[in-house]
Amino acid sequence: MEGLPEKLKELLIFAYGERAEEIEVGCTSRRPVTFRVNTLKATADEIERALAAAGITYEKSGIENAYVVSGARESELRETEIYKNGKIYMQSLSSMLPPFAIEAKAGESILDMAAAPGGKTTQMAAMSDGRAAITACEKSPVRAERLKYNLALQGAGRVFVINKDASTLDKGFVFDKILLDAPCSGSGTANAGAFSEKLLEGCMRTQRRLITKAWEMLKKGGVLVYSTCSVLPCENDEMLKNVLGGRAEYSDITHIVPANAKLLPCAPHTVTVCPDGLYEGFFVAKLRKPL
């Protein structure tokens, strides 16, 4: 294996054996531009017609309302009216999976704990036809402003933005569902080359703190979807086990994985997508808080 930091190579080999080399190749692959249709503003048919008129070649991705663009750069897609009007949202395919696990519905109170730049927040808003009450947290002031911009552009009006570290929210907050797309080492992405033990340790401290807070704010019978763009078990299924122990009931979510995505071994009912030329490495788990 070449290209990744030595410590990350060691961790991948320890976790996945011979598949560690496959993971490295996937991390360093150049992925095409992908986007999803913003169903708050447009239909898939409308977007397909607009792409054809602009001479942009596309194909369906295997994820509902999501497309892969071939022969065009991201900058070209940004020049289209469908992008400028918020009818599409450019997003990696793997990062579209957590909202399918959370299944946002009208009338539900949902917290997005680390929301910026807003891809999953706006996706949940669209999946609920704009009728879920979503609270979106972002601790960075700059990123919070970007989040607000994207929410407005996408027409996701029923979203309340809080510029605050979600782990410090008041104890009075209670939610039906919580999405925690946690800060992580990025070991399943093109950023894996920046991996360091210090980065991993810092991310794991943050993950523990956020998971603990999420469980505190989740109502009994509520759902927590936890995700990262890491393939390291210590940030994923092992992290959940260490923080929550046997307090959580896991729901099977293998049905959210497209047929063209490859999986890595992980705990039962959870999903770890193997990075390749189309998907980033990604972990998703759906947990229910017992009544």
229 is catalytic: yes
CB 20 within 8 A of CB 12: yes
Distance CA 250, CA 267 (A): 10
CB 128 within 8 A of CB 106: yes
Q: Which residues pair with 175 in a beta bridge?
A: 218
Distance CA 230, CA 228 (A): 5
Closest Cα to residue 239, out of 171, 184, 179, 174? Answer: 184
Strand, coil or helix: 156: coil
Distance CA 291, CA 138 (A): 29
Closest Cα to residue 136, out of 167, 119, 114? Answer: 114
> What dihedral do alpha carbons 83, 116, 215, 168 form, nearest 10°?
-150
Token pair 């054809």: residue: 52
DSSP result, 70-98: ES--HHHHHTSHHHHTTSEEE--SGGGHH
Distance CA 99, CA 177 (A): 11
- Among the listed residues 27, 137, 184, 229, the single catalytic one is 229
State the catalytic residues. Answer: 229
